[in-house]
Amino acid sequence: MTKNRILICTFLALSSGFFGGYIGGQITLMLHSQKCQNQPWALNQMCNVWVTPGAIWQGSTTGIWTCTVLGAFVGGLVTRQTCD
């Protein structure tokens, strides 16, 4: 049972981490690209190119760390053994 518990916790932590990284990157990109909305078309495009890498990096790393910890916690709760 211990090996299955470790595998389930690891799978939940990693899968939620990857999912959180993707969602975090998308949300942060959307928030950072709002800064570029009031620019003329050419400047808007240049602003988006400038902002995108940093926003995706920031959001992805935050999402990965946060959701990996939360996924491991939930995995521990799901697979915990009760005392009888």
The answer, yes or no, to whether residue 69 has pLDDT greater than 70, is: yes
Q: Give the pLDDT confidence of 56-66 residue by residue, as tens digits.
A: 999 999 999 99
67 burial via Cβ count (<10 Å: 0-12, 13-18, 19+): buried
Mean pLDDT over all residues of the chain? 91
Which are the contacts of 69, defined by CB distance < 8 A and separation ≥ 6?
13
- Greatest mean pLDDT among 7-11, 19-23, 32-36, 40-44 lies in 19-23
Lookup result for tokens 């050419």:
42
